[in-house]
């Protein structure tokens, strides 16, 4: 039984590194027919303030299946390897 992987990018408006990470993630995830979910931690703070408290100083943060996979930059080869598992 195949498992659907979930890739989430935690971002903030005006974050240039977040834009770069989103582009890289979309490109890598397209190889696996996956969509990237982007969550702005500041906008989401009204629903989940802990998200911003936990990750807000390390943006962008990449989550794979709800777990932190990396931050600041996308490690493309590691992500590809983990998506193949």
CATH number at residue 49: 3.40.30.10
| pLDDT attached to residue 75 | 97
| pLDDT attached to residue 2 | 54
| pLDDT attached to residue 1 | 45
From start to end of 33-83, where are the E strands?
Answer: 36-40, 61-64, 67-71
The answer to whether residue 24 is domain-embedded is yes
The answer to whether residue 2 is domain-embedded is no
- Are 67 and 61 in contact by the 8 Å Cβ rule? The answer is no
The answer to whether residue 1 is domain-embedded is no
Q: Which residue range is the domain that position 55 belongs to?
A: 7-84
| pLDDT attached to residue 4 | 84
The answer to whether residue 72 is domain-embedded is yes
| pLDDT attached to residue 3 | 72
Segments of the chain with pLDDT less than 70: 1-2
Number of domains in the chain: 1
């Amino acid at each position: 039984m195949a498992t659907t992987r979930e890739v989430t990018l935690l971002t903030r408006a005006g974050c240039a590194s977040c834009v770069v990470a989103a582009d890289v993630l979309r490109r890598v995830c397209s190889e696996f027919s996956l969509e990237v979910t982007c969550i702005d931690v500041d906008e989401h703070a009204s629903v989940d303030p802990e998200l911003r408290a936990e990750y807000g100083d390390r943006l962008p943060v990449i989550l794979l299946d709800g777990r932190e996979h990396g931050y600041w930059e996308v490690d493309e080869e590691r992500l590809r390897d983990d998506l193949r598992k």
